[in-house]
Structure 1
Amino acid sequence: MVCKGICIRYKSGRPFGINSRYENGQKRCSICEIFINWDGKYCPCCGYVLRTKPKGTQTRHRLMELQQIKRM
């Protein structure tokens, strides 16, 4: 799996007023090391599975709390 540079077209900027990129619907490719706006499950550039949840424990818990608040 190698980054081919196609992902640059789908690169997303930091969302304004939202704490989490994942909350905004952005996904991260671990190979290309970039956040992208992509509807698929795999990176359009390298074909690797995109991360849809944060790795860090604190950030993950904060995202879960925000999702529970939205459900109410």
Structure 2
Amino acid sequence: MVCKGICHRYRAKKPGMNSRYETGQKRCSQCDIFINWEGKRCPCCGYVLRTKPKGTQTRHRLMMVQEIKRI
């Protein structure tokens, strides 16, 4: 599947101090952008969107923030 350019309508701006994943943004690996989209798949190419960071440090930081919000 190829990027058709539809996802650029949903392009997300970088938040100030928070992580993109903390604010609910998702990343399409195929289109290589962060988008604001409620679904689990990219509206453009149909790839599954990433909802968690790959890096160990950022993944742990996200887990800590989510745990604090639960309390």
TM bracket, shorter-chain basis: over 0.9
What residue in structure 1 maps to residue 28 of structure 2?
Answer: 29
Scaled by the length of structure 2, what TM-score is found?
0.96
Q: Deviations over 1:17-58 (max 9, x none)?
A: 32x100000000000000000000000000000000000011
**TM-score w.r.t. length of structure 1:** 0.95
Query: How many angstroms apart in 1 are the aligned matches of 2:61 and 2:16?
Result: 18
Query: Which consecutive unaligned segments of at least 5 residues does structure 2 have?
Result: none
RMSD: 0.6
Q: Which residue of 1 aligns with 2:43?
A: 44
Counterpart of 2:66, as a letter, is Q
- Residue 28 of structure 1 aligns to a residue whose secondary structure is strand
Q: Quote the Cα distance in structure 2 between the aligned partners of 1:25 and 1:51.
A: 11
Aligned-pair identity (%): 76
Matched pairs, number:
71
Structure 1 stretches of 4+ with a deviation exceeding 2 A read none
After superposition, give the CA deviation of every residue in 1:2-28 in whole Å (9 maximum; x if it has no partner).
Answer: 10011100000001232x100000000
